[in-house]
Structure formats: structure tokens, C-alpha cells
């Protein structure tokens, strides 16, 4: 029997390989938000579930790792104040998720999810505007 996830995994791999740097950042945001959602679901699950704490920890660590990667890719020289502000935001998000994990509290996860979604949506809008500008410029040249 064929693996039903094989083609989805191949598509995902191809998407990453052909994505622009801006699209890759958007994919990282989406991945972090997915793991935060999984952590929120685990927090809401039955406290008697023996895997609950492990699931919360795993999801939060994965989200933190993505934020660490986003932070590491910032070019503080070229990005100026914008990159410096993002660096501080990512550091704050990582610290809050660490606190959520240690204290097993969902409130910091909810806060980071809300704030990160705002950054993600702003990034997506910037990419849409860049794409529209490129399209208009290409049409004007043709």
C-alpha cells in the first residue's frame, strides 16, 4: 500500500526548496504558530493524561527552536531598528514560552500566539505588497 503522506511530504519539501527567503520566514512563523496551537490543545486536554506534560513540553520546545532560528537569521546591521526590535520581540517570546513550560501555564502561550500572529500577518502583508509591486513593474516593462 502506498504511503498516503508521501506525496504531501514531497510537496512540502518542494515548497521549501522553491520558496523565496521571505516565504521561508512566513513558513517559520506558520510552523511556530502551529506548535503553539498544539501546546494550547495539550494544556486544554485532560490533566490525567500521562502524556499531557510531554506533549506540552515538546510543542513549546519546537516553537522556541523556530523562534531561535528566526532570531539567528536577523541581519542586525542591514535591518537597523526594525531588526533590533524583532530581536527583542523574539527574545521576549522565547522567555515567555520557557516560563510557560516550566510553570505549566497556558497564559504566556496565549500571549505569544497573539503577538506572533500579528508579526506573521504583518510579514505576510509585506510579502503581498512586494509581489504586487513586482507584478506591476513586470507588466509595465512588457
Q: Where are the domains of the chain?
A: 19-141
CB 30 within 8 A of CB 47: no
In tens, the pLDDT along 97-126 reads 999 999 999 999 999 999 999 999 999 999
**Has residue 8 got a pLDDT over 80?**
no
CATH superfamily, region 19-141 = Flagellar protein FliS (1.20.120.340)
CB 71 within 8 A of CB 91: yes
Gyration radius of the chain over CA positions: 18
pTM of the model: 0.84
**Has residue 1 got a pLDDT over 70?**
no
In tens, the pLDDT along 38-97 reads 999 999 999 999 999 999 999 999 999 999 999 999 999 999 999 999 999 999 999 999
**CA 57 to mean position of chain CA atoms:** 17
CA distance to 20, 63, 136, per residue, from 133 (Å): 16, 32, 5
Q: Cα separation of 96 and 91, whole Å?
A: 9
Amino acid at each position: 500500500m502506498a504511503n498516503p503522506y508521501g506525496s504531501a511530504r514531497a510537496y512540502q519539501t518542494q515548497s521549501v526548496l522553491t520558496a523565496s527567503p521571505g516565504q521561508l520566514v512566513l513558513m517559520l512563523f506558520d510552523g511556530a504558530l502551529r506548535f503553539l496551537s498544539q501546546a494550547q490543545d495539550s494544556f486544554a486536554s485532560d490533566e490525567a493524561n500521562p502524556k499531557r506534560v510531554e506533549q506540552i513540553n515538546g510543542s513549546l520546545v519546537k516553537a522556541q527552536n523556530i523562534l531561535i532560528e528566526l532570531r539567528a537569521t536577523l541581519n542586525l546591521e542591514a535591518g537597523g531598528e526594525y531588526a533590533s526590535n524583532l530581536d527583542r520581540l523574539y527574545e521576549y517570546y522565547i522567555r515567555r514560552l520557557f516560563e510557560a513550560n516550566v510553570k505549566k501555564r497556558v497564559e504566556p502561550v496565549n500571549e505569544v500566539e497573539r503577538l506572533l500572529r500579528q508579526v506573521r500577518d504583518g510579514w505576510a502583508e509585506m510579502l503581498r505588497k512586494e509581489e504586487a509591486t513586482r507584478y506591476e513593474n513586470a507588466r509595465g516593462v512588457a
